[in-house]
Structure 1
Amino acid sequence: MENKKGLLIITTISMLILLTVAILFPRKPAEAENIQYINAMEKISDTQLGKLSPTAQVDMSVFLDTAIPYLTFEHGEDASKVALKHGYVKSIGKEVLRRNDALDILFKITGVKLPKNADLLDIAKRLEIITDKDKSLHENNKLSASEACYLIVNTKKAWHNTLESDTSKKDIDVLNFYFTASDFIFSEDGRILWYNDEGGALNALNTQDGSFSVITKPEDPELETYPEGNNTKIVNIYDNNGVLRAVQVEEYLKPGYIVDKYILYRANENDEFKKIVEFDLSTNKRYEIIGFSEDNTKLFVKTNFYDNYITIYEIDPGSESRQVVYKNRNADIVDSVIAHSIGFVSTDIFHPVTKKLLSTIYIDDKPRLVTLDDEFEKIMANVREDFDTNTFPVTVSFDLNYMVLMHRDHRDLGTYYLYNTKTRSSKVLASPQIDAESLGITLPISFKASDGETIYGYLTLPKGKKPDNLPLMVNVHSGPSSRFGWTPSVETILASDAGYAVLSVNSRISTGYGNEYIDFAVKDLLLPQKDIREAVDWAIETGIADSKNISIMGHSYGGFSALYQAGVYPSMYKSVIAMMGVWDWTDLGNELAEEEELPVWYKRFAPVPESELATVLSPSTYVDRIKMPIFIVYSGKDEVVYPSQNIRAILELSANGNTPESLYLTEEGHFPENISSRKMIISHLSEFLNKNIN
């Protein structure tokens, strides 16, 4: 027999749960008839928790398997793994769950700030998760299945109500959101800290009383440098005595055309340099020297040469023997490539005297600090208590009595503090000139692609909105093997401020998820585009996105992706923003190579010119299908995606009846740096976003 539209099909057990909830927790007639509430209970009825007998007791694992996918958007990962990763629980046992255990987890998932020794029942009542009539939940008793379901559903309702009621905001000037700090340098006695403030002025701060001093920063010592040719890029690497011991060399045929990369090393300053590392430019293998052992005989190295994930090793360059210093089984250690992608200025802390590695950072969906020294862990435990887990060390004084901290999360790009490790007092040194509370929240997301692999990313919600049927802006990163981080980009903030939910997709070409994650895409260059499309489908299926109001934007590889998606799926996207994006892969490859052979690294991420794949991947192939509003930004001195690419896009789109809006930055390169150029980009983006959202 066919089901009538809207008919609720509920199993016998699920109906028992609904009836039990209704008996134990009577509601007003109007509320009992609330279709949304019934639908919510029906969704839970299909889970392991929902299939239990209403009076059955519940353990942690069963509770998490329902709460995590229902309350988060991390649908592509095991629920227990998500809970452990974020610290919602410390361990997962088989003990029966009590009310406070459940409330503590639910509050952490939904971002409820809990003061020390908080009365969880009082908070639950204030949020209307538990009412005065819910007598069985007024004591910290063992939970039944029906009670657990009730708490989960009401928590989501309370969370959404909180999001919708949080509408107060100030005007956002994203130009001032990004503050990139200079080096922070302590004097040897720890009494002075030199640093540049938001305006760029050099300050000398007295660490003891917070006053500013006139003591000038000592001149940097003159160090030996390796000769740099016209077509080489050199990174000089010094040991603990300031002796040049290693050199990373990149050789170019011309800008954007790297032909070789290697590392030279010498045992002492009188020896000749010898090549110890040769990079295979056809792979994603990375090798980064971050320091020397105390006796200067061994190297501290971050590399993925020997493992799927970037790991820290102590390596003897003579014997090539290595020892693991720190490895995470499920995530990359943050190297300079990842740090640049997520906006970190410092990731590793060495003791200024002993040169011992004190801490490092790995990244899954958020940066995570790892301490490698017991005494330093005691200091950082205090930091976590005084601030939170999103506070990271930037530098330390010689005696470890002072340190510079950076707080960074989804609303704060980086507020810097001077922290006294003895008194646990702090002073703000510099911060983004923007009201963090005026920004929407950003949440990690994951989902299963059609081939069963997990895809990652972030969802940024507009302020005052719950994740329900929102205009959606899909955001694609540059690189192509860059990535998005938890802290949103300028473009994300602009789109969110205009009213879009922003889905920032880390498709299978993104760094930070291990070699295999990138290699999937290297073997199939269409795969990242499939991931992007399936991310949109996921956002629609979960109810986040309004399927009739979806747009897409990106820079560089992201700009290409935005144009490609618009051409291949023209009915999906309402508007497009493409900044420095590729229009035709054959033209780009030919202009890069000229009469030479294409670089090896280029073939990893781009199709060979004149090939069938180049035609399939080029947005120019679909020019007659791209009819939605488009905004194109391009630069006159771009040596990565030549301006000819975007000039051709504008001409061909116009010839097909869709003249795009455009912004031409005559003196800029691939990444505009001039303040006036950034102001123009922001102004044009804001106007385009606000004009096309409705």
Structure 2
Amino acid sequence: MHRFVAALFAATMLVPVAQAQEGDAAALFGAREYVEDVSLSPDGRRIAFIVPAPGRGSTLYTAEVAAGAASVQAAYSDGDPERLRDCGWVSNTRLVCQVRGMTDQGGVKIGFSRLIGVDADGKNMKLVSARTGSRALRMNQYGGDVLDWLPGEDGAILRTRDFVPEFSTDTRLAQKENGLGVERVDTLSLSSKRIESPKTDAVEYISDGYGRIRMMGSLPKSDMTGYSQQTLKYFYRPKDGDGWREFGKLDLVTNAGFNPMAVDRDLDAVYGFRGKDGRQALYRIALDGTMKEELVYAHPEVDVDGLVRIGRQHRVVGATFATDKRQTVFFDPALKSLGAALSKALPGLPLVTFIDSSLDESRLLLRAGSDTDPGRYYVFDKKAKSLNEVLLSRPQLENVKLAPVKPVSFKAADGTMIPGYLTLPAASNGKNLPTIVMPHGGPGSRDEWGFDWLAQYYANRGYAVLQPNFRGSAGYGDQWFQKNGFQSWRTAIGDVNDGGRWLVAEGIADPSKLAIVGWSYGGYAALQSAVLDPDLFKAIIAIAPVTDLERLRQESRNYTNFRLVDAFIGAGPHVREGSPAQNADKIKAPVLMFHGDLDANVDVAESRLMAEKLTAAGKKHELVVYPKLEHSLVDSKVRTEMLSKSDAFLRTSLGIK
């Protein structure tokens, strides 16, 4: 059943990408993931994939899924500021892609996106998003999202459109409508037809996969401020009706309520998530007017947090959740059997994800990986019963020995067992090692078992790495999440520090060579850990960190989500006590920070403030700012430099020869 097609793999490797020199660990692990996006054509004969270009750019290629086929460049963006994202086939010969970017307008970070259509050979590139006239009364940041690929209507899509009103003087042609609507667009001729009239408060529409909009999300603005309210209201449309009916509400801060995700036309129902016994579960609610609700799947220990969808209509076939490892429950009997068969065909790659399929679902595009394999892409042909490898996620690591990742748990100070993942250097005995505690970002996130380029880089350089899912992490239910990692920072950071103490007690870490490294909220945790216990970690690396909770609140005042951020941070003594920049005098260990100056998640001003406070307190530190880069620092050269510089900093700070 399992055979490899080397020809296509070889063809994709001919795409010009910068190859790291053997033995240059920072370049090997710092290189951006080779496959940034991939999709399968409706007939299952072609794939389209986006790969990194030099710097922060991206290139779209297409290739036949056949022996000896060569890849064709279809589109390119230099990443300054536009980047290609999310390309999907709208016919067997044409694709629609999203182009995204970020600009700085007077200190305010403004994101934008547009949809473009392009043939598989790179011809007939056209703007699919609606153009905004010169008389527009406000900025049109987003060019819309694809709601429905309209199988059977080659070249057409349903996409959202932000209708922007225009001012008028002596003309009746000015656009007066305002809000989010839906249009059917021919991506070649650009002819369009209105499907949903714009509504001022609409923020979301959900299609049934067959061209009919069945649900709408509405988020009213508050008074004259323009800030969004906390409650998202949902409406539904009966299968054979046109009017909207009230459906329910979702609190965007507490997550209370039903969160609709996908409509099943045949079942005339919507799938979504709702809390059950303090954890998130998958439910299905009828859209026939009865509002009958049924539990589809719940797990007693963790949140059910994902849907498995397949086909051009993106029908729901299963659910996913993560215990020690990510797992899938299939509702579709045929896919359940196929999943079991694939597990046998790929015994060393247990993390299998369905990415796309042909129109008739006879060919499936899937990704498989593990802790020691960054990931491989396959096309499975049901009729031929063949499984063909077509792409590698990180080809430069193909011959690099990676370190196994082990699920572990350790006891916090109050006796609570904290789950996490331990990565030990491949050739070590696991004892008395230079060691890194690496808290995740979010804080509404969690680490999972699998490949992690940061952890694997440090393991390659001889460090043990612990990734704790401290209280405040998502995925373990409401009680574990608590108020969130900022309002409940003492518990969250306490768990992180207890992870460091556990490493020492177990003999894994040399206590004089214990460091902490984090990105985003993880960077906040790295800095705040030293406020809570200044003597535990001997070196601190914070990438794009939050450093001051009040500043984080104020940064959001220029954005519509201010009230949500304000509620998330909360008020009280924890705001100052939980801000490392306000407690820099307590930090003893040397600090190294990295930040992009186009970061819209956490403004670079946070790191600059931290650097100022550390300077005033006479603390050893360094801040590296990367121009024109966002939160994730998507640039292979920059990531390589960051890894190399961080390793040198750790070795100096920890006294490693």
TM-score by length of 1: 0.66
What residue number does 1:263 align with? 234
1:422/1:447 Cα in 2 relative to 1: closer, same or farther (>3 Å)?
Answer: farther
1:448/1:414 Cα in 2 relative to 1: closer, same or farther (>3 Å)?
Answer: same
Partner AA of 1:439 in structure 2:
L
What residue number does 1:7 align with? none
Distance 2:642 2:201 in 1: 32
What residue number does 2:105 align with? none
What residue number does 2:374 align with? 413
**Which of 565, 568, 575 is equivalent to 1:614?**
575
**Which of 435, 442, 451 is equivalent to 2:397?**
435
**Which of 646, 649, 655 is equivalent to 1:688?**
649
Please state if 1:348 is matched with 2:201. Answer: no
Distance 1:273 1:227 in 2: 20
Offset, 1:475: 0.7
Distance 2:334 2:361 in 1: 10
Report the secondary structure of 1:370's partner residue.
Answer: strand
Partner AA of 2:431 in structure 1:
D
Please state if 1:176 is matched with 2:176. Answer: no
Q: Is the 8 A contact 1:461 1:500 kept in 2?
A: yes
1:256/1:494 Cα in 2 relative to 1: closer, same or farther (>3 Å)?
Answer: farther
Q: Is the 8 A contact 2:435 2:510 kept in 1?
A: yes
Q: Is the 8 A contact 2:548 2:606 kept in 1?
A: yes
Report the secondary structure of 2:489's partner residue.
Answer: coil
Bigger CA radius of gyration: 1
User: 1:20-419 to 2 correspondence within 5 Å?
Assistant: 171=25, 173-176=28-31, 178-188=33-43, 190=44, 192-196=45-49, 198=51, 200-206=59-65, 211=69, 216-217=93-94, 220-223=155-158, 225=160, 227=162, 229=179, 234-249=203-218, 259-267=230-238, 271-285=242-256, 287-295=258-266, 297-301=268-272, 303-317=273-287, 318-335=289-306, 348-350=308-310, 357-388=316-347, 389-419=350-380
Partner AA of 1:378 in structure 2:
S
Report the secondary structure of 2:612's partner residue.
Answer: helix
**Which of 490, 507, 530 is equivalent to 1:526?**
490
Partner AA of 2:489 in structure 1:
L
Offset, 1:682: 3.6
Which deviates more, 172-181 or 539-548?
172-181
1:291/1:641 Cα in 2 relative to 1: closer, same or farther (>3 Å)?
Answer: closer
Offset, 1:240: 2.7
Partner AA of 1:433 in structure 2:
P
Please state if 1:661 is matched with 2:622. Answer: yes
1:405/1:601 Cα in 2 relative to 1: closer, same or farther (>3 Å)?
Answer: same
- The structure carrying a bigger helix percent of its residues is 1
What residue number does 1:509 align with? 472
Specify which structure has the bigger relative contact order, considering alpha-carbon pairs within 8 angstroms and separated by 6 or more residues.
2
Offset, 1:476: 1.4
1:545/1:552 Cα in 2 relative to 1: closer, same or farther (>3 Å)?
Answer: same
Offset, 1:678: 3.8
Offset, 1:518: 0.7
Q: Is the 8 A contact 1:555 1:578 kept in 2?
A: yes
Distance 2:432 2:409 in 1: 19
Report the secondary structure of 1:310's partner residue.
Answer: strand
1:381/1:421 Cα in 2 relative to 1: closer, same or farther (>3 Å)?
Answer: farther
Q: Is the 8 A contact 2:249 2:258 kept in 1?
A: no
What residue number does 2:603 align with? 642
Percentage identity across paired residues of the two chains: 23
Distance 2:230 2:483 in 1: 24
* Structure 1 gap segments, 5+ residues each: 1-167, 336-346
1:647/1:512 Cα in 2 relative to 1: closer, same or farther (>3 Å)?
Answer: same
Offset, 1:455: 1.4
Report the secondary structure of 1:526's partner residue.
Answer: helix
Number of residues paired by the alignment?
508
Cα deviations across residues 419-443 of structure 1 (Å, max 9, x unaligned)?
2335443222221123254221111
Partner AA of 1:642 in structure 2:
D
Q: Is the 8 A contact 1:204 1:216 kept in 2?
A: no
Q: Is the 8 A contact 2:351 2:370 kept in 1?
A: yes
Distance 1:280 1:399 in 2: 38
Q: Is the 8 A contact 2:308 2:317 kept in 1?
A: yes
Partner AA of 1:348 in structure 2:
V
TM-score by length of 2: 0.69
Which segments of structure 1 move beyond 6 Å, counting only runs of 4 or more? 230-233, 251-258, 594-598
Please state if 1:603 is matched with 2:567. Answer: yes
Partner AA of 1:305 in structure 2:
G
User: 1:586-597 to 2 correspondence within 5 Å?
Assistant: 586-593=550-557
Offset, 1:502: 0.9
Cα deviations across residues 78-115 of structure 1 (Å, max 9, x unaligned)?
xxxxxxxxxxxxxxxxxxxxxxxxxxxxxxxxxxxxxx
What residue number does 1:459 align with? 422
Which deviates more, 631-640 or 561-570?
631-640
Distance 2:643 2:202 in 1: 32
